[in-house]
Amino acid sequence: MVKLIIDGKEVIAEEGQTVLQAAQEAGIYIPTLCYHHEVKPYTACRLCMVEVTKGKRTRFVTACDYPVAEGMVVRTNTDKIQRCRKLIIELLLAQCPGLPRLQELAERFGVEKVRFSKGESDCILCGLCVRTCQEVVGLSAIGFEGRGFTRRVCTPFDEASDPCILCGACAYVCPVDAIPVEEVDGYRVMERWHKRSKLVACSKCGRYFMTEDELRLLKEKTGLPEESLRLCMDCR
């Protein structure tokens, strides 16, 4: 175990944990956008920036990927950090002015105006959707394309991506709700990925519970008979 101080509070963390994990377990809030505990840290948003002192050295690090160490002193909310977070939120708002989740964050952190020219994107490029599809779902149905201002997340060639099973995991983790999922006339539709898939109804209770693409993948992966897979979790 490792003993450290976060915001004046003594915290015991496990070896190998990150500062963010240790803080979260101790009930200390550090804001994040691109972090999710199910996928590897990516440090894209840098909102989790904290000040760390080890020995005589103090530096700014991203809490989501910085490992805890014995005797480390962490400050999560100094004036400098507050200024840094405000600037990050302001830059994100300049890039994506229409996102309500960002506007909420701006209000919470006291960002009153955006001094930079405004874009019209609805994606903060945190890559959480891409990483979740790869690392959790085990597919690579979406990815990054382009560089700089033209960088974006999309399907290959902007066409319906074959591997996508419309599981909705990418939409679930999106920190700014930028990936809509709709269920219309017995289909799940994800316009952002140019894809729709028929919904499968549970053979016992009749409730829609997965897409045909999910069923196809499950059949391939498990080798189980289709009848057993057509039962929802409640009816199994």
89 binds ligand SF4 per the rule CB under 6 A: no
**Residue 199 within binding range of ligand SF4, rule CB under 6 A:** no
Give the closest residue to 141 by CA, choosing from 185, 183, 171, 180.
171
Q: How far is the CB of 135 from ligand SF4 (least distance, A)?
A: 10
121 vs 197, beta carbon nearer ligand SF4: 197
153 lies in the site for ligand SF4, by CB under 6 A = no
Minimal distance, residue 132 CB to ligand SF4, in Å: 6
**Contact indicator for 206, 176 with CB cutoff of 8 Å:** no
* CB 92, min distance to ligand SF4, A: 22
C-alpha distances (whole Å) from 85 to each of 62, 69, 77, 139, 182 are 12, 24, 10, 33, 33
Total residues contacting ligand SF4 by CB under 6 A comes to 15
**68, 102, 111, 165: which one contacts ligand SF4 (CB under 6 A)?**
165
CA distance 66 to 63: 5
**201: β partners:** 208
Q: Smallest distance from the beta carbon of 210 to ligand SF4, in angstroms? A: 11
Among 232, 119, 133, CA closest to 179:
133
Say how far apart CA 208 and CA 233 lie, in whole Å.
11
CB 167 to ligand SF4: min, Å: 4
Residue 7 or residue 212: which is nearer to ligand SF4 going by CB? 212
* Piece of the chain touching ligand SF4 by CB under 6 A; list 8-16, 65-73, 104-112, 167-175: 167-175
Contact 217, 166 (CB under 8 A): no
What is the DSSP track for 32-96? -SS--TTS-----S-TTEEEEEETTEEEEEETTTPBP-TT-EEESS-HHHHHHHHHHHHHHHHH-
Q: Is 168 in the site for ligand SF4 (CB under 6 A)?
A: yes
Read off the DSSP letter of residue 196. Answer: E
Q: Tell me how far, at minimum, the Cβ of 169 lies from ligand SF4, in Å.
A: 4
Binding mask 95-114 for ligand SF4 (x = CB under 6 A): --------------------
Write out the residues near ligand SF4 by the rule CB under 6 A. 132-133, 137, 139, 141-142, 164-170, 190, 193
